[in-house]
Amino acid sequence: MAVFTPVTEAEAEPFIRRFGLGELRALTPIAEGVENTNYRIDTGGGTFVLTLFEGRTDAASLPFCLGLTEQATEAGLPCARPLRDADGEAVGRLNDRPAAILEWLPGAWRRAPSTADQAAAGALLARLHLAGRDFPLTRANPVGPEARLALFDRCQTRAEGADLALLRQMAPRVEAASDPSAGLPRGAIHADYFPDNLLFDGGAPSGLIDFYFACTDAWAYDLAIALSAWGFDADGAPLPAALEAFQSGYESVRPLEPAERAALADLGAVAAVRFTLTRLHDRLFHDPKNLVTPKDPAPFLRRLDYWSAAALAA
């Protein structure tokens, strides 16, 4: 979460009024994250999140993203349900941006998750995949092969020194014609299942948030993204116990098929390239006026070494 588009209380009040939430009592910017503008809103009807969707979130994708969130909530998963206004619409416009209001969920994300947390997170991801099996909408992966190649080319226009070396290391994977997800079981995936997108309250997950990269792709790719997010330390070194706990938790709900297990390391390499590229792009093209801190791409590139070695050993 982050703030790219400033919003005043006077600007927010008419939008919030449409949702029947009562008086706006406080509007507080949320500075974490790198994609959309988010505010905590305290109203007479409770506390919620006001989200303004920025350039990387295509407005046409919002029915998919918010609809999947609703379906997951209806299946009993702890997700931030989007509110609907008197006309039944979940998305409006505020300050020339698509905007929505979502439930505020209790808890906080784990900065140092235990193996029990890892297992619980893995199980919840599998539950999400099963909950979305009959989801009627589809969405192409917004950071699929063509988008990754475009990001790669754009980064090359500004990269120098270590950043240029980083791009060269990724080049074979970015330019690869083969798709390791081909033929694998597919459905709706979260595609951004990081620790800071899963809240815990006490010992259990209490809130799965930020579905805005959600799309239709291989479930095993979503698992590979999550393993890359949860199973490595801040420097990009693998944490074997965390990797094992997360995958075991996932498979306690949905066991992997043999083809998925065989493709997992190659999918992990794709995930490493995907997040290295987006983080490098965000750093190279960062607007200092935005209240957001770009993330270092280097630790994610180190995951590529791990997954590439695992693929060779398989």
The total domain count for the chain is: 2
Of 104, 126, 161, the position where a domain reaches its end is 104
pLDDT at position 33 is 59
Backbone φ and ψ for 228, nearest 5 degrees, come out as: -65, -30
Query: pLDDT-based confidence at 34, cuts 50/70/90?
Result: low
Is 132 within 8 Å of 68 (Cβ atoms)? yes
pLDDT in tens, 206-244: 999 999 999 999 999 999 999 999 999 999 999 999 999
Secondary structure E strands in 202-313: 204-208, 215-218
Q: Are residues 116 and 84 in the same domain?
A: no
Residue 52 has pLDDT above 50, yes or no: yes
Of 72, 104, 136, the position where a domain reaches its end is 104
pTM: 0.94
pLDDT in tens, 78-100: 999 999 999 999 999 999 999 99
pLDDT at position 56 is 77
pLDDT at position 1 is 46
- Looking at residue 276, its amino acid is T
Q: Are residues 53 and 89 in the same domain?
A: yes
Expressed as residue numbers, the domain containing 156 is 109-313
Long-range contact set of residues 227-231: C-beta below 8 Å, sequence gap at least 24: 227/264, 227/268, 228/268, 228/271, 228/272, 228/275, 228/300, 228/303, 228/307, 229/193, 229/194, 229/195, 230/113, 230/118, 230/121, 230/122, 230/193, 230/194, 230/195, 231/118
pLDDT at position 286 is 84
Residue 269 has pLDDT above 90, yes or no: yes
Is 230 within 8 Å of 197 (Cβ atoms)? no
